[in-house]
Amino acid sequence: MREKTPILGLRGICKRFGPVRANHEVDLTLYEGDILGLLGENGAGKTTLMNILFGTYAADAGRIEIDGEPVSIANSADAIAHGIGMVHQHFHLVARHSVLENLMVGQKGRHGTLDRAGAEARLARIADEYGLRLAPETPVAALTIGEQQRLEIIKALFRGARILILDEPTAVLTPQERDGLFKAMRALADKGMGVIFISHKLFEVREITNRVMIMRQGVVTTTLVNGPELTDRELGELMCGRELIPPERPPVAVGRVLLRLTKISAGGTPDRPVLKEVSLEVRAGEILGLAGVSGNGQGALAEVIAGVLPPHGGAIEIDGEVLDQPSVQAVKARGIGRVPEDRIGTGLITTLPLSDNMVLPRVGEAPFSRCGILDHRAMRDFAREQIARFQITAAGVDVRTGTLSGGNLQKALLARELAWDPLVLLVAQPTRGIDVGAAEFVHRQFLDLRARGRGLLVISEDLEELFTLCDRIAVIYEGRIMGTIPVAEATARNVGLLMAGFREDAA
Amino acid sequence: MRVRLEVREKASPWLNLTLPLLAIAATLVLCGGLIALAGANVIEAYSVLFASALESKFAIVETIVKATPLVLTGLAVAVAFRAKFWNIGAEGQFLLGAMAAVFIGTQESLPGWSLVPLMILAGIIAGGLWAVLPAVLKTRFKVDDVVTTLLLNFIVFYAMMALLDGPWKDPLSGYPDSPDIRPDAEFPVLLHATRLHLGVLLAAVATVLVWWLMRFTTLGFAIRAVGENPRAAAYAGFDVGRIIVLTALISGGLAGLAGVGEAAGLHYQVMAGISSGYGYTGIVIAMLGRLNPLGVVPSALFFAVVITGAEAMSRSTGVPVFLADVIQGTALMTMLMALLFTGYRVRLSLTGHG
């Protein structure tokens, strides 16, 4: 192996937010050709550290070194100038512009003109060198999520990045797309780039990285070299600082159909609906998983079941009763609980106090209000009860909800819905962006609900999660259910192919 | 040395109190420059301005009377803005409330005792419905509420002028003033030998009611939820459109009530200058009061002092009375800038140090 040079060094980085120690004496070294996994629970300080590196925050103490030289990074332009590239979870692309135009955004041309030919040549060079190919004239809107992510990586290289930070890049990809990403990451490392890979999925960290750095409560607790002897369980325990016991899925007698969708078409226009004649059944004592790459109609399906989106056609049946007029109220009254994917967009109102959010869907009912008059004490008592029951970390019931970490927000939402003992719980991306400890807790709650003869519909892009949790897995692609597979017969290959739109027989 | 803004995790509660005070302080400093330009002594001008509005019992009562319509329009805007219904139309709702009051107050056929309650009711309904119109346009057709509420003000104003120049023209004076309301319709005076009328009491009651509504009712909860995150509110089962329309009705009703108070408590008629921009000042007052009903009261009192004091200042120092308008406008700008600090904190960092 060749002599390794550290291209990036963080030395003694400290950052406080009021009383919270987000980063304390953090050291990080990244070598040429390195793929460093950065692991940690939510609130462990990973994001803060990356924000300091990318110039979003200023460190209270410590320094950043590039090639051994201390540098000052006060904003993202400085970071880019020092060869640091970042691919965020949410892409920063202009959908109507072409691949090439997106690359040229923010680039200075000669005398105020755009250097199109030069940009195209550079794009071709990146394609040759790293195997990252995209047609320059394709509009971003026509790219798949995986391709958009590739464009983000190309954009970073285009701007001269030698250090690439990938923040949970696999969360939005199919297994096949993920393999493509990993191949690209290896190619980048082989050419001498340094890559920092942030993920909650331990098996991915084991697969792709050569070193792993684990953070807990703002400090680096462990840095280890990746090797075949490393297990998910070991990594998970290092990350949470406690023992993890994977939840078991004992057999439960499956009962009557609790939720039945029959030929539901919804969203878009009646002629071109987003959901195309979707039929599904969720029975008592079962967890039905819905796999699919995001944007294939999962959102519309969740909105239909939540009563927010009236379908163009088809029938919704809850516990044997067909709903004539699906509405949020009707669906809620018949026992559908809902934990949305978009926790801070449609689930919670982050600017309001936690106690308000805990009662949000039920504020019009006793004991929280009578004849339209609020009972603040009942609201706060309820919130306090749920915080204790689910061990939600919050500085009280009056804190602004947005100050809770992702895992705690998810716990709060789950606590709110479970308090009403729902007949069917509809959950979307239940563990996205939350750490293993919280994810384990969430999964345990689901299995507990299942054991009590309730039904669950879990929409997730995380196949690993669906495989451990579900009894059956339905796959959605372009608004159609491609097939439903009992979990015993499900493999990453057959589910992955359905997710990519290939029927079993055609493959 | 570099200055940068960082996202704040939590807005501390004392900011709600200090920010308006900071904004006012900055406003007075900035407007002090204008006073100096007008050739007056800044300290002297300000002391005349504030002292004249507070120097005697009579002056204090006058300031309170002046603050009354401002409290109501401030409440109107505060309620609407809480639901993110951008009601810039309190001015028009105010005028319509005043016109409705005069319409009822001049009816000879109604029994005398019924006039005052009917005027109040009519003014609230007229103002409320005038705000419901843009709210329905917003919720049904996604028409921008800032534009519609603002433009509706001009429709009301010029309709009123047409009325004052036509059917309501005072036949005796020939001025564009409406006929006077019947003596039975005049709001009773609460304090002998002052202009402290029933409208002041109504404004106080309205303040408490709005505070109670926002804090202790499910409707207030819904208004806040819809304003902060309409999507989440819809998912939680709130009928967002209905709540915005209801908010508009309450908001317009408050502005309408302000108009009733001025027509029935002070002028006993409507005329071109009945408002002097109370609806617009309400926006500044609501912002400075942090959209809190209880914050609206001190905020309205402050502007009442500025408006009444500006005349005395003008008389004794020669600074134009328009300074009062400049102070209002500047206060809105400084407050909007101060609001930046609720979401961000300013950090100074030394260059070369990360």
pLDDT tens, position by position, B47-90: 999 999 888 999 999 999 999 999 999 999 999 999 999 999 99
Q: How far apart are CA B346 and CA B336, in angstroms?
A: 16
Per DSSP, the three-state class of A64 is: strand
Quote the minimal CA–CA distance from B191 to chain A in Å.
35
> Are A58 and B225 an interchain contact pair (Cβ–Cβ within 8 Å)?
no
Strand partners of residue B305: none
User: Which residues in B lie closer than 8 A to residue A364 (C-beta atoms)?
Assistant: 218, 237
User: Which residues in B lie closer than 8 A to residue A306 (C-beta atoms)?
Assistant: 235
Quote the minimal CA–CA distance from A361 to chain B in Å.
4
Token pair, residue A211, equals 């070193």
Token pair, residue A76, equals 């993202």
A57 touching B, CB under 8 A? yes
Question: What's the number of CA atoms in the CB half-sphere (13 Å) around residue A356?
Answer: 26
Cα B41 to Cα B44, B223, B245, B326, B331, distances in angstroms: 5, 47, 49, 18, 21
A16 touching B, CB under 8 A? no
Quote the minimal CA–CA distance from A119 to chain B in Å.
32
pLDDT tens-digit profile, chain A (507 residues)? 445 678 999 999 999 877 778 899 999 999 999 999 998 876 788 888 998 998 888 889 999 999 989 999 988 889 999 999 999 877 888 888 999 988 888 776 666 677 888 888 989 998 888 888 888 899 988 888 788 888 999 999 998 899 999 988 887 777 788 888 999 999 999 989 999 999 877 888 899 999 999 988 888 988 988 888 888 888 888 887 776 666 778 888 889 999 999 999 998 889 999 999 999 999 999 999 999 877 789 989 999 999 999 999 999 999 999 998 889 999 999 999 999 888 888 899 988 999 999 999 999 998 999 999 999 999 999 999 999 988 888 888 888 888 887 788 889 999 999 999 999 999 998 887 777 778 888 899 999 999 999 999 999 887 888 988 999 999 999 899 999 999 989 888 888 888 878 875 544
The answer, yes or no, to whether residue B351 has pLDDT greater than 60, is no
A391 touching B, CB under 8 A? no
Query: Taking phi first (over 0 means left), then psi (-120 to 50 degrees means alpha), and beta for anything else, what does residue B174 get?
Result: left
- The sheet that has A313-318: what strands, in order across it? A275-283, A257-266, A313-318, A321-322
Q: How far apart are CA A461 and CA A495, in angstroms?
A: 11
B3 touching A, CB under 8 A? no
b/e per residue A235-269 (b: at least 16 CB within 10 A): bbebbbeeebeebebeebeeeebbbbbeebbbbee
The total number of residues written for chain B in this structure: 354
Between CA A240 and CA A246, with CA A242 as vertex, the angle to 5 degrees is 90
B218 touching A, CB under 8 A? yes
Q: How far apart are CA A153 and CA A161, in angstroms?
A: 9
Report whether A471 contacts A439 (CB < 8 A). no
Give the pLDDT confidence score for residue A507 in this predicted structure: 41
Give the pLDDT confidence score for residue B353 in this predicted structure: 41
> Are B235 and A363 an interchain contact pair (Cβ–Cβ within 8 Å)?
no
Report whether B193 contacts B50 (CB < 8 A). no
User: Which residues in A lie closer than 8 A to residue B83 (C-beta atoms)?
Assistant: none
Report whether A382 contacts A368 (CB < 8 A). yes
> Are A74 and B228 an interchain contact pair (Cβ–Cβ within 8 Å)?
no
Any idea which of A458-472, A488-502, B133-147, B340-354 has the lowest mean pLDDT? B340-354
Give the domain ranges of chain A. Answer: 1-83+162-245, 92-159, 257-499
Whole-prediction pTM: 0.79
Which residue of A lies nearest to B354 if distances are taken between CA atoms? A72
Q: How far apart are CA A209 and CA A38, in angstroms?
A: 9
Token pair, residue A67, equals 């090639």
Residues with Cβ within 8 Å of A1's Cβ and at least 6 positions away in sequence, in order, are none
> Are B232 and A345 an interchain contact pair (Cβ–Cβ within 8 Å)?
yes
Nearest-CB residue to B219 (from A345, A360, A372): A372
Q: How far apart are CA B140 and CA B27, in angstroms?
A: 40
CATH 1.10.3470 fits B2-349, yes or no: yes
Per DSSP, the three-state class of A308 is: coil
B140 touching A, CB under 8 A? no
Amino acid at A155: K
Quote the minimal CA–CA distance from B294 to chain A in Å.
19
Which residue of B lies nearest to A57 if distances are taken between CA atoms? B6
Token pair, residue A453, equals 């003869």
pLDDT-derived band at B18 (thresholds 50, 70, 90) equals: confident
Token pair, residue B18, equals 């200090």
- Mutation for B interface: A11, A53, A368, A374, most B CBs within 10 A: A374
Which residue of A lies nearest to B216 if distances are taken between CA atoms? A374
Place of tokens 């059917």: B167
- Mutation for B interface: A50, A71, A346, most B CBs within 10 A: A346
Nearest-CB residue to B10 (from A62, A376, A400): A400
Any idea which of A72-76, B225-229, B266-270 has the lowest mean pLDDT? A72-76
- DSSP H or E run through A249: none
Three-state secondary structure readout of A122-146: HHHHHHHHHCCCCCCCCEHHHCCHH
Which residue of B lies nearest to A78 if distances are taken between CA atoms? B354
Which residue of A lies nearest to B11 if distances are taken between CA atoms? A400
| Assigned CATH topology for domain A1-83+162-245 | Rossmann fold (3.40.50)
User: Which residues in A lie closer than 8 A to residue B224 (C-beta atoms)?
Assistant: 352, 356
According to CATH, the superfamily of the domain at A257-499 is P-loop containing nucleotide triphosphate hydrolases (3.40.50.300)
Report whether A31 contacts A44 (CB < 8 A). no
Nearest-CB residue to B218 (from A327, A345, A369): A369
Assign 3-state DSSP to chain A and report helix, strand, coil percentages, each to 5: 35, 25, 35
Quote the minimal CA–CA distance from A52 to chain B in Å.
8
- DSSP H or E run through A497: helix A492-499
> Are B351 and A74 an interchain contact pair (Cβ–Cβ within 8 Å)?
yes
Of A374, A396, A375, the residue nearest A384 (C-alpha) = A396
Amino acid at B239: D
> Are B231 and A17 an interchain contact pair (Cβ–Cβ within 8 Å)?
no
Per DSSP, the three-state class of A21 is: strand
Question: What's the number of CA atoms in the CB half-sphere (13 Å) around residue A435?
Answer: 25
Quote the minimal CA–CA distance from A448 to chain B in Å.
25
A330 touching B, CB under 8 A? no
Residues with Cβ within 8 Å of A412's Cβ and at least 6 positions away in sequence, in order, are A348, A354, A357, A358, A386, A387, A390, A392, A394, A401, A404
Which residue of B lies nearest to A355 if distances are taken between CA atoms? B221
In chain B, the largest separation of any two C-alpha atoms, in whole Å, equals 83
Phi, psi of A84 (to 5 degrees): -100, 125
- Mutation for B interface: A26, A64, A303, A352, most B CBs within 10 A: A352
Distance of CA A127 to the CA centre of its chain: 28
A393 touching B, CB under 8 A? no
Give the pLDDT confidence score for residue B12 in this predicted structure: 67
Any idea which of A45-49, B11-15, B216-220, B279-283 has the lowest mean pLDDT? B11-15
Question: How many contacts, defined by CB atoms under 8 Å, are there between A and B?
Answer: 94
Of B267, B251, B312, B326, the residue nearest B45 (C-alpha) = B312
Cα B172 to Cα A307, B99, B169, B180, B297, distances in angstroms: 64, 20, 9, 11, 39
Question: What's the number of CA atoms in the CB half-sphere (13 Å) around residue A436?
Answer: 25
pLDDT-derived band at B266 (thresholds 50, 70, 90) equals: very high
Token pair, residue A316, equals 């919704």
In this structure, the dihedral spanned by the alpha carbons of residues B334, B339, B342 and B346, taken in order and rounded to 10 degrees, is -50
> Are A349 and B2 an interchain contact pair (Cβ–Cβ within 8 Å)?
no
Report whether B336 contacts A44 (CB < 8 A). no
Place of tokens 């400290």: A14
Give the pLDDT confidence score for residue B1 in this predicted structure: 59
In this structure, the dihedral spanned by the alpha carbons of residues B181, B184, B186 and B187, taken in order and rounded to 10 degrees, is -150
Quote the minimal CA–CA distance from A201 to chain B in Å.
27
A366 touching B, CB under 8 A? no
Quote the minimal CA–CA distance from A60 to chain B in Å.
8
Q: How far apart are CA B136 and CA A400, in angstroms?
A: 31
Q: How far apart are CA B267 and CA A172, in angstroms?
A: 67
User: Which residues in B lie closer than 8 A to residue A328 (C-beta atoms)?
Assistant: 234-237
- Mutation for A interface: B9, B84, B235, B290, most A CBs within 10 A: B235
| Strand duo A163-167 + A194-198: pairing | parallel
Q: How far apart are CA A435 and CA B172, in angstroms?
A: 81
Three-state secondary structure readout of chain B: CEEEEEECCCCCCHHHHHHHHHHHHHHHHHHHHHHHHCCCCHHHHHHHHHHHHHCCHHHHHHHHHHHHHHHHHHHHHHHHHHCCCCCCCHHHHHHHHHHHHHHHHCCCCCCHHHHHHHHHHHHHHHHHHHHHHHHHHHHHHCCCHHHHHHHHHHHHHHHHHHHHHCCCCCCCCCCCECCCCCHHHCCCECCCCCCCEHHHHHHHHHHHHHHHHHHHEHHHHHHHHHHHCHHHHHHCCCCHHHHHHHHHHHHHHHHHHHHHHHHHHHHCCCECCCCCCHHHHHHHHHHHCCCCHHHHHHHHHHHHHHHHHHHHHHHHHCCCCCHHHHHHHHHHHHHHHHCHHHHEEEEEECCCCC
Please give the ipTM for the structure prediction: 0.85
B352 touching A, CB under 8 A? yes
- The sheet that has A194-198: what strands, in order across it? A84-87, A163-167, A194-198, A35-40, A211-216, A219-225
Q: How far apart are CA A299 and CA A304, in angstroms?
A: 9
b/e per residue A82-99 (b: at least 16 CB within 10 A): bbbbbbeeebebeeeebb
User: Which residues in B lie closer than 8 A to residue A17 (C-beta atoms)?
Assistant: 9
Give the pLDDT confidence score for residue A391 in this predicted structure: 87
Amino acid at A16: R
| Whether residue B111 has a cis bond before it, omega within 30° of 0 | no
User: Which residues in B lie closer than 8 A to residue A338 (C-beta atoms)?
Assistant: 235
Strand partners of residue A166: A87, A197
Q: How far apart are CA B188 and CA B254, in angstroms?
A: 20
